[in-house]
Structure 1
């Protein structure tokens, strides 16, 4: 007993000595309509949240173990000078969304007393350049700094002189137009720098060797140029999106750049790739050498050749030609987004080799994903497709491409404007949505191993019966919606790998029985003219089927075994609340129908049909069943059943009608 008591006493002493609380060390007073800091705070608190209140002044806090303090979204404009003196362990302080542009002298002195602060957020306080310098004094321990949404216009060399340990700086959404040389160079540990949403016009000489992630998006940058040197830059992510770039950036020669964001710029506005490259090199020479040097080195291509880039986004630019040579230099490139440009034809326009004078053969040897969506393409050179040796995903949505017929050979006849996808052996995912395709020919995808195919929104497309035969064994996802296709037009081969099928928004009245061999997990049949579904097909699919979309059809309420089966098997019908079935009298929501189907099919059937069936029954009754008459008159149930069984071939149709 004594050893146990001694152990308990020692643990209590350790908790007391180290100040470790024995309860939840966090307390939240957020959104409590507070006008001051509560007085009854537990001195053992480690984390205190006072955000989203109305606190205007901050006075001394006696919380010696506090590590995190959140005062964001208050009305704080005055901090007493000694307020943080007793917060010896404070590491994270959030003062964003206050009014710290007031009382700069007193407030900045108060913050200088925090010796261990690692994270500081002073965003959205309407702070100017001078105010920020005051707040950042004596903050040598700072690791993370956020100054989003203030009023900074100029970053000076003295701003971060006391913050040499900074790793992350966010100064986005300010008014910065000038960055003095040396502002960030001395921050040797800086890894992430966010300068998005400012007024920067150009980057003339990028010298931040230590930065790994640089965000310059949503400025007004027209060019990005780096002097060539032999030092290694650690830059891995460069975001120049939403700017006014006319040229590709000239990045450091030795770098680790893997992700380059150039979307929503003006790159490619010049008439040709050659002209764009020439202009970029002239600009580089002008900046570096202060004059134009004829026949100078191609700095753009020499630096791009060394980039280990795996991802580049060039969407929403002004390209009218595809920059074949420049992009082919990126030997590690795996993902290229070239969507929403102005390229109508991809022509194999490669310069001749200077010595042999033969066309050079180039390859995109690592490219796996290529998006050419919404370019207005009418022609793609087969030599370009041949160069995509490792392509897996090809997005051609929103163009005007026509697949080639079997007899057409675009390599032999360059005047043919059709596209052939044969021999793209690595291709797995193909999107041909909204291309105004007229005909899908037989063996369209021979020698490919497509896993997913999207043919939606080709409103006048005629699909040949053998169009999918070459990929019937590999295809897992097929979309043929919005094609104006009828049931007789839909001819699908047996596809033993198909798991997702979308045939919505057509005029289909029956689902092909060939699908009974497919392990479908999801099927979309919305907005067709289906009156019923094949019950045996549903049973065959039920082993794998998980989700089915059915709304927008003309289902017959009284032919609903398929629906009952789906309901019993608990197949998900996400849109069943919008689905209807019909009787001769009105339409009924399927959710209502499922609750009591007999109410609608037995008692809401057309009365005229009841009279007709009753007349038939009465004729048979009079003509063939004297025995039944006698049995009925004598109330002998056994004789009635015997007579009905004897004449079952006559009564069977009537019995079926009554049991619907």
Structure 2
């Protein structure tokens, strides 16, 4: 134990000394302004016109990005023989002399992004011959064409990662990447590629990741890269994707064909390892209901070198011959599916996430998911589903997210939620549904079509916006522990239907849900943090909110003329971060509450430039109120002293007038008084 303690102490001392040395090194800087640390120099944004020569000779990494270095000569890097990583991004670099890397042959990573290598690409090609250890090369945004790339990559036998993004490559053939047998990652996105000849990538026997996104490819008819794991073909013009008919096992794991023009489900390899298939934003659908499947074969002709290969494919066939058992994430959103074949999803036994939103589905059977016991997320929103079918076979115990918003549902299968014990988020917004009440004696005639939320004991987020609900029954959310509830665009007559979940709610939206002015009591909502009361007809601010710890409050488009906020000591003002106030008829002479809000530096009013107030039936922006308005308000609202100042001159004037009248008509007045007061004397 003693020896072990000594060794531990020595180790700690060594680490401490190393840290101190590195800290001292980190504080160093060169005369040119480069920041230096252990074998690392950061010379970015220094307006340099050449490679600095005052750096330590043993540096291994040098950053020269965003300078003005237009050429690299032999002497530029000769002082740094240990250099392994060099970055020259955004320099306007045009020339790399043929012998520029002779003094730095250990370079493994070279970034030439956003320069003008195309200007002198032949000399740069000669310079790259002296980089026998180069593994990472970035030539993106250099105006390169295919023949230039072919020349630059002529002797890159050790290259593992290559980036050619944002160039002007229009065509790829089998000569471009010949010899790159160690290449593992290739990115050619954001070019103008409209054709990839057969055999272009066949030499890349170690290629694992290929990115061809944002090009102009019309189709893929002979995909045969069995070694590839990730293929990105998004944002092209693909109408068809077909794999080569091989008995070999494909290593493909992620395939992205989203944002294309696909008309049919892609013909995948028979044996593969695809776990993520992204097909969103295409024009796919199944056609067997529209066409005769007996006469629906199409011949595809593949011309390769001097040979021609013709393949007949039944394009209307609904059976997917490829093995889909490995699929975990399938995104077919934003397509044109009107229905799904019965056995289409059944084969996906490993499915975790299924997205079918923004399609044209009229019906959907949850029984199709009977084999997907691990399904966590299901999105059927933005369809035309009027009927949701379900038998007793499916089990959705693992389902956490279920979105059925923006459909035509009026009812749901009975006991649909009984097996969804793990459901956390449910979105039924914009369907014409009604909620069940547990009080059987109070059942209505349409309760047979209502949705029972009581089995969803694990539910946290519930969205019921725009369902036409009339919330007047108690206990509709009995047993739930919701934290997020959206009841916007419904008819909420009072808050009593929410009393079963009021203590757990963090977010509550009652936007456009209060048909008339209500006196709302939120005193039971002690955990509420986000409240949306916008687009209602409230005239009285709910005073119960003042002592809550809200973080966000939306009061837009109501009928508030003032807010009862008189000082910054309220609990609401201590926690509130965001407050929306616009489109209310506030009184310009009652804006003292706004000054209270402005005194609190933690409160942000994003729509303050749109907040207006009323003064004599004229609405003005509160941030542009003329200085005369506050003075006019003093006269209009009336202060005690102000009243005295107004009444006193009037009273004095009146008294002076009386005194003048008395002095003027004194004799007449006295005579009249004597005559009225004269009485007979008794003897």
Shift in alpha-carbon separation, 1:564–1:577, aligned structure 2, 3 A = farther
- Which residue of structure 2 aligns with residue 316 of structure 1? 334
Q: Indicate whether 1:499 and 2:500 are aligned.
A: no
- Which residue of structure 1 aligns with residue 578 of structure 2? 574
**Does the aligned pair in 2 maintain the 1:77–1:99 contact within 8 Å?**
yes
> 1:346, 1:562 → 2: CA distance?
56
Shift in alpha-carbon separation, 1:81–1:554, aligned structure 2, 3 A = same
Q: Which runs of 5+ in 2 are unaligned?
A: 1-12, 29-35, 439-450, 601-629, 645-683
> 2:291, 2:329 → 1: CA distance?
23
Q: TM-score, normalised by structure 1?
A: 0.73
Q: How does 1:171-190 map to 2 (within 5 A)?
A: 171-190=188-207
Shift in alpha-carbon separation, 1:292–1:229, aligned structure 2, 3 A = closer
1:45 pairs, out of 33, 43, 59, with: 59
CA apart distance, 1:175: 2.5
> 2:376, 2:290 → 1: CA distance?
23
2:223 pairs, out of 176, 184, 206, with: 206
Tell me the number of residue pairs that the alignment of Structure 1 and Structure 2 aligns.
561
2:594 pairs, out of 590, 594, 598, with: 590
**Does the aligned pair in 2 maintain the 1:53–1:73 contact within 8 Å?**
yes
CA apart distance, 1:242: 1.3
Q: What's the secondary structure of 1:433's corresponding residue?
A: coil
**Does the aligned pair in 1 maintain the 2:567–2:596 contact within 8 Å?**
no
1:451 pairs, out of 460, 465, 469, with: 460
Q: What's the secondary structure of 1:374's corresponding residue?
A: coil
- Which residue of structure 2 aligns with residue 647 of structure 1? none
**Does the aligned pair in 2 maintain the 1:37–1:55 contact within 8 Å?**
yes
CA apart distance, 1:145: 0.3
Shift in alpha-carbon separation, 1:563–1:137, aligned structure 2, 3 A = same
Q: How does 1:7-406 map to 2 (within 5 A)?
A: 23-24=36-37, 25-60=39-74, 61=76, 62=78, 63-268=80-285, 270=287, 272=289, 290=310, 292=312, 301-305=320-324, 307-346=325-364, 362-383=370-391, 390-403=398-411
CA apart distance, 1:308: 0.6
Shift in alpha-carbon separation, 1:463–1:274, aligned structure 2, 3 A = farther
Shift in alpha-carbon separation, 1:344–1:286, aligned structure 2, 3 A = farther
Q: What's the secondary structure of 1:101's corresponding residue?
A: helix
Shift in alpha-carbon separation, 1:397–1:77, aligned structure 2, 3 A = same
Shift in alpha-carbon separation, 1:39–1:607, aligned structure 2, 3 A = closer
Q: What's the secondary structure of 2:322's corresponding residue?
A: helix
**Does the aligned pair in 1 maintain the 2:260–2:281 contact within 8 Å?**
yes
Shift in alpha-carbon separation, 1:567–1:83, aligned structure 2, 3 A = same
Q: How does 1:544-563 map to 2 (within 5 A)?
A: 547-550=552-555, 559-560=564-565
> 1:276, 1:574 → 2: CA distance?
60
- Which residue of structure 1 aligns with residue 424 of structure 2? 428
> 1:186, 1:199 → 2: CA distance?
23
CA apart distance, 1:500: 2.3
CA deviation profile, 1:8-36 (whole Å, cap 9, x unmatched): 9xx99xx9xxxx99851443443444444
> 1:581, 1:385 → 2: CA distance?
57
Q: Which runs of 5+ in 1 are unaligned?
A: 1-6, 351-360, 405-409, 412-418, 615-660
> 2:378, 2:292 → 1: CA distance?
24
**Does the aligned pair in 2 maintain the 1:218–1:243 contact within 8 Å?**
yes
Shift in alpha-carbon separation, 1:122–1:215, aligned structure 2, 3 A = same
CA apart distance, 1:120: 0.6
> 1:422, 1:464 → 2: CA distance?
25
CA apart distance, 1:521: 3.8
Shift in alpha-carbon separation, 1:511–1:125, aligned structure 2, 3 A = farther
Shift in alpha-carbon separation, 1:88–1:584, aligned structure 2, 3 A = closer
Q: How does 1:468-507 map to 2 (within 5 A)?
A: 468-470=476-478, 472-483=479-490, 485=491, 488=494, 491-495=497-501, 496-507=503-514
> 1:187, 1:607 → 2: CA distance?
84
> 1:80, 1:286 → 2: CA distance?
44
**Does the aligned pair in 2 maintain the 1:168–1:191 contact within 8 Å?**
yes
- Which residue of structure 2 aligns with residue 462 of structure 1? 470
**Does the aligned pair in 2 maintain the 1:155–1:180 contact within 8 Å?**
yes
Q: Indicate whether 1:442 and 2:448 are aligned.
A: no
CA deviation profile, 1:154-179 (whole Å, cap 9, x unmatched): 32223223321111100112222333
**Does the aligned pair in 1 maintain the 2:71–2:95 contact within 8 Å?**
yes
**Does the aligned pair in 1 maintain the 2:301–2:309 contact within 8 Å?**
yes
CA deviation profile, 1:198-240 (whole Å, cap 9, x unmatched): 2322222222122111101112222222244443322111001
Q: What's the secondary structure of 1:328's corresponding residue?
A: coil
Q: How does 1:617-656 map to 2 (within 5 A)?
A: none
> 1:277, 1:196 → 2: CA distance?
36
Q: What's the secondary structure of 2:330's corresponding residue?
A: strand
1:522 pairs, out of 515, 527, 530, with: 530
CA apart distance, 1:332: 0.8
**Does the aligned pair in 2 maintain the 1:310–1:332 contact within 8 Å?**
yes
**Does the aligned pair in 2 maintain the 1:394–1:430 contact within 8 Å?**
yes
CA deviation profile, 1:297-321 (whole Å, cap 9, x unmatched): 989523134x311101101111122
Shift in alpha-carbon separation, 1:393–1:348, aligned structure 2, 3 A = closer
> 1:388, 1:289 → 2: CA distance?
46
Q: What's the secondary structure of 2:354's corresponding residue?
A: strand
> 1:275, 1:366 → 2: CA distance?
36
**Does the aligned pair in 2 maintain the 1:558–1:583 contact within 8 Å?**
no
CA apart distance, 1:342: 1.5
> 2:157, 2:237 → 1: CA distance?
33
> 1:376, 1:590 → 2: CA distance?
47
**Does the aligned pair in 2 maintain the 1:364–1:389 contact within 8 Å?**
no
CA apart distance, 1:516: 1.0
**Does the aligned pair in 2 maintain the 1:385–1:424 contact within 8 Å?**
no
- Which residue of structure 1 aligns with residue 677 of structure 2? none
CA apart distance, 1:583: 6.4
- Which residue of structure 2 aligns with residue 357 of structure 1? none
**Does the aligned pair in 1 maintain the 2:551–2:575 contact within 8 Å?**
yes
Q: What's the secondary structure of 2:570's corresponding residue?
A: helix
Q: What's the secondary structure of 1:105's corresponding residue?
A: helix
- Which residue of structure 1 aligns with residue 607 of structure 2? none
